[in-house]
Amino acid sequence: MAPRWKHSPDGARWGEFGPDDQRGRMNLVTREKVLQGVAEVREGLSFCLSLPLDVPGGARMNPRRQPPQRYSVIRNGPSAGQQGFCWSYASEDPELTDVVNDDVALLSLQYSTQWDSLAHVGSLFDADGDGVAEAVFYNGYRAGEHIRPGTEDPQATQAFARFPGPQADALGIEHLAEHGAQGRGVMIDLEHHLGRRRQAVGYDALMRILEADGIAVESGDMVCLHTGFADTLLAMNRRPDLETLHATGSGLDGWDDRLLNWIVDVKLACLLADNPAVELVVPKLARPAGGPALRQPRLPLHEHCLFKNGIHLGELWYLTELARWLRAHGRSRFLLTAPPLRLPGAVGSPATPIATV
């Protein structure tokens, strides 16, 4: 089989875990790391790190992502539905007493608390060296070949079925689910040091915070960034006030090369945040007067992590209660258990992560 790439992007470590690897740096969450996580369990106290999955509310925060819609399955006709159950087994046999509810959800997988798979963000890059950039993902997996449009169903009546896929035959979220996504979590409490004002956090600021809090990030750690954004959002009770949100919460500075190098050199396994993108999304750099167009990503940290280095991202996690508890108890580490849905071919997944201390 022809190798998937002749050239890898600058700053990428494609092939680090073999050319066909689809787990990226989650490979660093080894049995030893799980035991390190388990060793952090001293109180038997668990924290749910998910927002309710119908938060933010509406689609104003991201028009591509709609709130969940749930349907019921009514087998016995509307009258059963009106009584508060879907069907009664008595319709099959009058002597049976069971009444049953089922439901169906139509879910934007990245609407609320979520994982991004390595198939979520790639880049236009000339991996095969033919002089033309193609859409390519981590380890050279190709759009159109490995990550492709799903199959249209001409019989489908639902509106959403008009836009089938994408179908990630490589790099789908099931690879993370099969790993288990359990290991040692480390909390970096940006909000405690910076407040909730929107600001980019670069290498220097991050190092100051790690030093002040005595935090050492080690190989294979699952790193959480608490900014307070999700807590502000939750308090809006599903009516997000965009003006306030646009001024709220810190995020990593994806244009800071020293920060990007640190993320790779420290060998963290994944980056998880309570804000919408882990990084602070800033407007595109300006084209120099009269100069050529600058080809650049809108989301440089996504490019660096998902595309170049196989580092999964988690967004809109709910970290405030855990961050407060850890600070009050002079701790920053915990057992993190955060499997995504084992949904083959999906590019992201809702998550209900649990921290145990």
How many residues make contact with ligand UVW (CB under 6 A)? Answer: 8
CA torsion 154-158-160-162 (nearest 10°) is 20
Report the C-alpha gap between 267 and 216 in whole angstroms. 12
CB of 306 to ligand UVW, least distance (A): 8
Structure tokens at 150: 């799903």
Cβ proximity to ligand UVW: between 114 and 139 the closer is 114
Which residue in the set 110, 250, 275, 309 belongs to the binding site for ligand UVW (CB under 6 A)?
110
Strand-pair partners of 273: 225
Site for ligand UVW in 274-313 (CB under 6 A): 276-277, 299
Positions in 217-276 near ligand UVW (CB under 6 A): 276
Residue closer to ligand UVW (CB basis): 128 or 315: 315
The H-or-E segment that residue 81 falls in is helix 78-82
Shortest spacing between CB 254 and ligand UVW, in angstroms: 11
- Return the number of the residue (277 or 341) whose C-beta is nearest ligand UVW: 277
Provide, for the chain, the percentages of residues in helix, strand and coil under a 3-state DSSP scheme, each rounded to the nearest 5: 25, 20, 55
| Alpha-carbon distances, residue 355 vs 47, 277, 291, 325 (angstroms) | 5, 21, 50, 11
- In the list 116, 174, 256, 274, the residue contacting ligand UVW (rule: CB under 6 A) is 116
Give me the least distance between CB of 228 and ligand UVW, in Å please: 18
Residue 295 to residues 142, 252, 279, Cα–Cα distance (Å): 20, 21, 19
Q: Choose the binding region for ligand UVW from 4-12, 27-35, 116-124, 171-179 (rule: CB under 6 A).
A: 116-124
Please report how close the Cβ of residue 176 comes to ligand UVW at its closest, in angstroms. 14
* In contact, 183 and 220? CB cutoff 8 Å: yes
Residues whose CB is less than 8 angstroms from the CB of residue 268 and which lie 6 or more positions away in sequence, other chains included:
25, 217, 219, 220, 221, 222, 223, 311
Q: Judged by CB under 6 A, which of 189, 253, 274, 315 binds ligand UVW?
A: 315
Question: Can you read off the two tokens belonging to residue 56?
Answer: 């933010």
Q: Of 259 and 271, which CB lies nearer to ligand UVW in the complex structure?
A: 271
**Which of 116, 231 has the CB closer to ligand UVW?**
116
For ligand UVW, the closer CB: 277 or 355: 277
Give contact residues for ligand UVW (rule: CB under 6 A): 110, 116, 120-121, 276-277, 299, 315
